[in-house]
Amino acid sequence: MLTCKQFLQELNDYLDPSTDPATKCHLEQHVNECPNCFIVVDTTKKTLQIYKGLEPQTIPESVKARLWKALEKKMAARKAQA
Amino acid sequence: MTPTTTAAFDESALVEKARAGDAQAFTELVNHYERKIYRLAKHITQNDEDAEDVLQEAFLKAYEHLDGFKGDSKFYTWIVRIAVNEALMKLRKRKGDRTVSLDEPIETGEETVQREIAVWEDNPEQRYSRTEIQQILDEAVEGLKPDFRTVFMLRDIEELSTEETAEALGISIPAVKSRLLRARLALREKLTRQFRRKGEDVFAHL
């Protein structure tokens, strides 16, 4: 059986849906028998879930206004060139 | 992450129009991606002023170089790459070149930190306000080394592939993989300290 350290090295493969079933099965064995790694897997999944579930916040209005001002300037220059 | 799309958003059609000189189409692309690019810039530079500069530079450069965009990658991947380059330049300028070189090998020695093994309370997302969660997650990312947080942002938040991330950062695929692993484990550790179920034996559920 894998040691915890070996398993953790392969954690991303374990979490990756595209990993081949044989590798996954091999890793799964460790998770089933090791309560600590079971928790690490579970909380790593939750960590990713919580990050992925978060929409980016809106940009401060002043930042946005300056971005558009800069873009409009550039676009106007392009138009003048054409 | 689910893109904040309106059903009508068609990236390649907009890019096509923008390349033909349609400013409105480019405007729509900016509208669509500005928040993500700003977040990325902010997480890499960790500085409001730099993030704003990166945001502007990235879109201005994209507009300027639209002709050079070949369309063999997604526009989004392309703009992310421009933004990452700008952000890394800012970071290097601010911190002095040595500390943030992304090409330096990462130390792979024994981890000395005690791994935090604990189950989480149920649905932390519902127990904290959106702002609180946001703050907890942001602080955790900000605590990572630049090498790690950049890879994490690109792979797990912006959802670039391993290959795209390697290309954007100019590092090898194994380097992307090992940094992603370490970033994920470090974040898990930090969030566990925050969200661990309190007041009971951590193995009680087993």
- The DSSP line for chain B is ------TT--HHHHHHHHHTT-HHHHHHHHHHHHHHHHHHHHHHH--HHHHHHHHHHHHHHHHHTGGG--SSS-HHHHHHHHHHHHHHHHHHHHH-GGGG-TTSPPP-S---SPP---PBPS-HHHHS-HHHHHHHHHHHHHTS-HHHHHHHIIIIIS---HHHHHHHHT--HHHHHHHHHHHHHHHHHHHHHHHBPPSS-TTTT-
In order of their start, the domains of chain B are 9-97 (1.10.1740.10), 116-199 (1.10.10.10)
pLDDT tens readout for residues B74-119: 899 899 999 999 999 998 888 764 444 444 444 444 444 457 788 8
Contact B186, B151 (CB under 8 A): no
Question: ipTM, 2 decimals?
Answer: 0.89
Using the predicted structure, report yes or no on whether residue B133 has a pLDDT greater than 60. yes
Q: Domain boundaries in chain A?
A: 4-81
B188 touches chain A (CB under 8 A): yes
Confidence of residue B206 (pLDDT cuts 50, 70, 90): low
pLDDT < 70 positions in chain A: none
State whether A40 and B203 contact (CB < 8 Å): no
State whether B156 and A52 contact (CB < 8 Å): yes
Q: What is the pLDDT of residue B85?
A: 94
* Residues of A whose CB is below 8 A from B38: 56, 59, 63
Q: What is the pLDDT of residue B154?
A: 95
Task: Name the closest residue on chain B to residue A76, using Cα atoms.
Answer: B23
Of A36, A47, A64, nearest to B188 by CB-CB distance is A47
Q: What is the pLDDT of residue B122?
A: 85
Q: What is the pLDDT of residue A81?
A: 78
Task: Name the closest residue on chain A to residue B134, using Cα atoms.
Answer: A54
User: How far is the C-alpha of B89 from the C-alpha of B128, rounded, in Å?
Assistant: 36
State whether B30 and A50 contact (CB < 8 Å): no
Of A44, A56, A64, nearest to B39 by CB-CB distance is A56
